[in-house]
Amino acid sequence: MVTGEPDSVRVKFINGQWLVRIVEGGRLTQQLFDIHAEAEAFAEEERHRLGLPGEPPTAEPVETRRRGGRGR
């Protein structure tokens, strides 16, 4: 229970995974994703279901953007 917290959907990068945190009616639900785009799509679906406004995507951490090495 997250008493007093309004309904919300948030995306965070934690320990190499994307966490979608949903608060609905004082209850907390969390869902983990390995792929950022999947986490953002799920979060957007949950916002729509709850009647919440959309939010811009969460920025990817620098280390996830550098996987391919240096471009030449």
pLDDT in tens, 22-36: 999 999 999 999 999
**pLDDT value of position 62:** 79
Does residue 66 register a pLDDT over 60?
no
pLDDT in tens, 40-64: 999 999 999 999 999 888 898 876 5
User: What single string gives the DSSP state of each residue in 24-59?
Assistant: ETTEEEEEEESSHHHHHHHHHHHHHHHTPPP-PPPP
